[in-house]
Amino acid sequence: MNTDTTTFYDDLAPFYHLLYADWKASVDAQGRALAELLQALEIPSGAVVLDAACGIGTQALGLLQQGYRMTASDLSPGAVERLGQEASRRGLRLEARVDDLRTLAGHAGPPLDAVIACDNSLPHLLSDAEILQALRSCHRCLRPGGVAVFSVRDYAVIERKSPDVRPYGLRREGASRFLAVQVWEWEGDQYEVRMYLTSESGEGRCETRVLKSRYYAITVDRLADLMRTAGFVDVARRDDVLFQPVLTGRRPPAP
């Protein structure tokens, strides 16, 4: 992971909800979908779950609303601060901290029932070695029989063209308008992302910010193999949970 990633999400945090047509509806829907998945994996409401790449809380807030006891961490201080504000606004309580997905050094509590990292967070780690380190850290934090849930892009079916321009659509907030566009530029199995954020005030003043980060286009199959190497069992792919493929795995139960 390069230093651009932290800056990218710090700068994006105030605007992240505008990447969604309706962020509140997405929080609600993803919370329900993940709760249903966790319950199918024998992790009931009330269980302790770490969102290890929480961002501004799209999944953590949704699972809190479903009765899960959430802790949350992210590399971005700006995102963690925004999550705290969003939780307070909803009357929800959780512990949120800055932490590195590769080490999860901030987790010193009892073993967890589940760890999640969604919205294509793992591919910000730019090598198999870094991803394996993160997976082993997730495995370490789980109780025997606990589960991990990761959602990622399906890079095996994405055409690698440069530049690849991906608009989010025009959003309105009060009298202002907001437009976000991603531009991908490929270099082998990695690509650089530039996010162009344009805000237009009701008075017609316009400002564009350009944020930059990088991804490793790891395939879902390769990620599943690394999960097994990290010690997970019952590794499975699900395409019916979120808008991206979901991989699940379990820390082996105690003998």
pLDDT at 228: 98
pLDDT digits (tens, 9 = 90+) for 208-245: 999 999 999 999 999 999 999 999 999 999 999 999 99
* Cross-strand partners of 250: 147, 233
Indicate the length of the chain as a whole number: 255
Comparing 92 with 2, the larger pLDDT belongs to: 92
Mean pLDDT of 74-84: 97
The span from the CA of 120 to the CA of 182, in Å, is 15
Specify whether 119 is located in the same domain as 145: yes
Co-location of 165 and 138 in the same domain: no
Domains identified in the chain, total number: 2
Over residues 47-74, the pLDDT tens digits come to 999 999 999 999 999 999 999 999 999 9
Q: Can you point out the beta strands (E) in the chain?
A: 48-51, 69-74, 95-98, 112-117, 142-151, 164-173, 176-187, 190-200, 206-216, 233-238, 246-250
Same domain flag for 39 and 67: yes
20 and 38 in a single domain? The answer is yes
Check whether residue 60 and residue 112 sit in a common domain: yes
**Is there a contact between 151 and 34 (Cβ–Cβ < 8 Å)?**
no
127 and 197 inside one domain: no
Output the domain CATH number for residue 178: 2.20.25.110
Asked whether residue 66 falls in the same domain as residue 190, the answer is: no
Per the structure, the complete domain to which residue 30 belongs is given by: 3-155+218-250
| 171 found inside a domain | yes
